[in-house]
């Protein structure tokens, strides 16, 4: 079940809200746990057992870490057990076939391909539960003794499938004592509607152009112009797809009394690749910095160790996204640019006019999206070669595509900036009070019409 489905919007969500708010306060975590398990099991009921197992393992390990806190060796042992369990769970379901296929290329090695479907959201909820025991050990978060409350944290349906990655310490207090207000409900509903519009009206609309350009590559008719149009289309699609989902998750969390951290901060306004990664998927960047980069030593210990740490973190960041070499290459591609910015041309970049800094950043990022999007490295290589001169410059089909998507591109560009937010804030309070419910209702009606009429409605990050 996805947020931008009619089933979710007009059946699951209204019923969930009714049951949740009719339940006494002391039962609401149990309600949240049960409705979230139903949400997760809607498409893959068998994988509820994995979710329950993950809850039990990390809940008990949190208690064991707290119990043996005085004996640091034992406490660290239980933290290590929790980390290993989560990594094995993630590794088996997400990476077994990839590792088996690649190891079987070695002489004398033959490992079976199991073809196990990937449990949706496993990359997200394993990272969340893994950070819980680490934070309990570090005293950054209190141990949770109520298994229902812990289960509600792990399975919380707003952020369960595709983030943002919510650390336990962020919601620990709200799990035990949260206040529900009409203002929070209204703000959460508004944020949800904004995310829904970004997903349905923007991401879905431009996704078809990326598919068309990819098909042109397969047919041998890709030009330089259509190649770059495709990269732009995918870059905008994944941004509005994922940031729209994050907006919906944050909005739903607010409705249920939780404050999730922001996940995007207008990343396409960045003036460097380093800045881009401070603004894009911030919950993942923060997770790797806090639980991998800093424990490895961060930028302490000299240049060689810093370079090593950057490469390790970005290898893991790429591999986290999927069991395919293109994701590894994508991670190392950004590691290279971050290293270059840090050690080679940082000062030169700072002296460039703002326009050129933005242009450089977007060029690097959108080429990176090409690597990210195409799992077949041969297809990826030929596509990017076409973009950089290995194909005719223009065709009649490019003119048709440009005319067809010109208004969409303009809307995408404007929505990627703070222009709309700044204009909204300049409106008088009375105008905002009138326009907010009107725009929410209009947005819901238009999105519903699109969902009824169209069949193209993927969530790109569900596969991660």
**Per-residue pLDDT tens for 406-453?**
999 999 999 999 999 999 899 999 999 999 999 999 999 999 998 887
CA–CA distance, 446 with 208 (Å, rounded to integer): 19
Q: For position 458, what pLDDT does the model report?
A: 64
CA–CA distance, 262 with 81 (Å, rounded to integer): 30
- Mean pLDDT confidence for 130-146: 93
Q: What percent of the chain has pLDDT over 70?
A: 97
CA–CA distance, 464 with 456 (Å, rounded to integer): 19
pLDDT digits (tens, 9 = 90+) for 196-239: 999 999 999 999 999 999 999 988 899 999 999 999 999 999 99
Which residue in this structure is represented by tokens 């923007």?
202
Residue 311: C-alpha distances to residues 12, 349, 362 (Å): 43, 22, 22
CA–CA distance, 50 with 20 (Å, rounded to integer): 25
Which residue in this structure is represented by tokens 């000062």?
347
State pTM to two decimals: 0.93
The per-residue b/e assignment along 85-100, b for 16 or more CB within 10 angstroms, e otherwise, is: bbeebbeebbebbbee
Catalytic-role residue among 61, 281, 321, 358: 321
Identify whether 61 is a catalytic site residue. Answer: no
């Amino acid at each position: 079940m996805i947020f931008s489905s009619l089933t979710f919007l007009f059946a699951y969500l209204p019923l969930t809200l009714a049951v949740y708010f009719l339940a006494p306060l002391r039962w609401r975590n149990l309600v949240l746990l049960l409705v979230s398990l139903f949400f997760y099991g809607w498409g893959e009921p068998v994988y509820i057992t994995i979710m329950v197992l993950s809850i039990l393992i990390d809940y008990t390990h949190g208690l064991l870490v707290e119990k043996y806190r005085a004996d640091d060796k034992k406490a660290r042992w239980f933290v290590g057990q929790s980390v290993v369990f989560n990594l094995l769970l993630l590794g088996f379901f997400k990476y077994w076939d990839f590792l088996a296929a690649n190891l079987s290329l070695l002489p004398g090695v033959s490992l079976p391909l199991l073809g196990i479907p990937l449990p949706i959201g496993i990359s997200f909820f394993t990272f969340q539960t893994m950070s819980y025991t680490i934070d309990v050990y570090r005293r950054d978060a209190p141990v949770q003794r109520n298994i229902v409350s812990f289960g509600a944290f792990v399975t919380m349906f707003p952020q369960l499938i595709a983030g943002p990655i919510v650390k336990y310490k962020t919601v620990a207090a709200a799990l035990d004592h949260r206040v529900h207000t009409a203002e929070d409900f209204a703000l959460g509903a508004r944020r949800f509607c904004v995310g829904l519009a970004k997903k349905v009206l923007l991401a879905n609309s431009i996704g078809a152009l990326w598919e068309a350009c990819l098909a042109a590559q397969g047919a041998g008719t890709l030009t330089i112009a259509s190649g770059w149009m495709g990269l732009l289309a995918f870059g905008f699609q994944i941004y509005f797809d994922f940031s729209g989902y994050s907006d919906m998750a944050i909005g739903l969390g607010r409705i249920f009394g939780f404050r999730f951290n922001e996940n995007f901060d207008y990343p396409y306004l960045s003036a460097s690749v380093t800045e881009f990664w401070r603004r894009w998927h911030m919950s993942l960047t923060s997770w790797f910095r806090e639980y991998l980069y800093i424990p490895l030593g961060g930028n302490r210990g000299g240049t060689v160790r810093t370079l090593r740490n950057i490469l390790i973190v970005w290898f893991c960041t790429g591999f986290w996204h999927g069991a395919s070499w293109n994701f590894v290459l994508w991670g190392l591609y950004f590691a290279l640019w971050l290293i270059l910015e840090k050690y080679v041309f940082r000062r030169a970049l700072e002296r460039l006019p703002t326009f050129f800094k933005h242009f450089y950043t977007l060029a690097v990022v959108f080429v990176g999206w090409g690597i990210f999007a195409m799992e077949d490295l041969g297809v990826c290589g030929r596509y990017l070669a076409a973009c950089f001169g290995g194909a005719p410059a223009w065709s009649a089909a490019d003119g048709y595509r440009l005319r067809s998507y010109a208004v969409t591109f303009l809307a995408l560009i404007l929505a990627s900036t703070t222009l709309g937010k700044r204009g909204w804030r300049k409106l008088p309070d009375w105008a905002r009070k009138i326009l907010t419910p009107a725009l929410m209702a209009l947005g819901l009606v238009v999105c519903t019409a699109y969902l009824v009429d169209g069949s193209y409605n993927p969530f790109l990050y569900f596969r991660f």
